[in-house]
Amino acid sequence: MGSVKDYFSSLGTGVASLLKGMSVTGKEFRTPKITERYPENRETVHVPQRFRACLELVYDAEGRHKCIACGTCERACPNGTIKLDIDTIETWDGKKKKHLAGYNYDLGSCTFCQLCATNCPTNALTFSNDFEQAVFTRDKLVKQLKYRPDIPEPEPSEEEKKRILAEREAKLAAAKAAAEAKKAAAAAAPAKDASPTNAVQQPKADEAPKQDPLAKALAAAAGDPEKLAKIKAAMAAKAAREAAKGNK
């Protein structure tokens, strides 16, 4: 009897399990598909904008980039993925300026940490989300990000140049005059002996000047002629002693 009961019990459990499995399968039938049929859907595939596929220099509509060749990205990269070629150019006013001659980026060693882009002071770098970066040899993963020719910066007009140069000259002259005035003031000041024993102790600004003890005693004895006479006699004796010391 017991075995018949066990039979129907396990039959019920099996049917319940089957229904549960079929409900999961039915639910998945109605869920939108997330699997992409790549490369058939290459034209329509959606890659999230934040996906980091490859580092790029940002160029504006005229083909200018914002890199100032400071080298921060190269130093920030933990893998040595970035190698910059930096040279120097001369601007219209004769100043030397760093110039980006080449930006070598090895995609094969990049870990997409984005330290280079986040540390760039001019936001000259970004990541593209172009995920199709497969190549047959590793050397093809080394990319030249500065692939556009340089576009010269627009120079200021002749009047503007004159104004800038005049301002610079005036600033230089003012700095020179200030330095010379400082030098002259230092030369005119009395030479001070810096040794601690001979250093002149200047009273602190917030300290009240101390009253001479003799003047204090004279003031206290103002109404007492006998006391006054004693103090004056003591002062005379002290003066005589000091005069005697000076004559030795």
Which residues, in sequence order, are bridge partners of residue 82?
105
Tell me how far, at minimum, the Cβ of 201 lies from ligand SF4, in Å. Answer: 55
Per-residue x/- track, 124-163, ligand SF4 (CB under 6 A): xx--------------------------------------
Q: 106 phi and psi, to 5 degrees?
A: -100, 100
DSSP 108: G
Q: Which stretch binds ligand SF4 (CB under 6 A): 64-72, 130-138, 146-154, 201-209?
A: 64-72
Q: 73 phi and psi, to 5 degrees?
A: -65, -40
Residue keyed to tokens 């396990």:
10
- Select 70 or 101, whichever has its Cβ closest to ligand SF4: 70
Q: Which of 14, 63, 71, 156 binds ligand SF4 (CB under 6 A)?
A: 71
Q: Which stretch binds ligand SF4 (CB under 6 A): 81-89, 130-138, 183-191, 236-244?
A: 81-89
Q: Which stretch binds ligand SF4 (CB under 6 A): 114-122, 170-178, 191-199, 237-245?
A: 114-122
- Of how many residues is the chain composed? 248
Q: Which of 58, 59, 64, 70 binds ligand SF4 (CB under 6 A)?
A: 70
Omega before residue 39 within 30° of 0, cis: yes
Residue 79 binds ligand SF4, judged by CB under 6 A: yes
**Residue partners of 82: CB distance under 8 A and separation at least 6:** 55, 73, 74, 103, 104, 105, 106, 116
**Residue of 20, 126, 15 lying closest to 73 (CA atoms):** 126
Task: Please report, as ranges, the residues that interact with ligand SF4 according to CB under 6 A.
Answer: 55, 67-73, 76-77, 79, 81-82, 84, 110-116, 120-122, 124-125
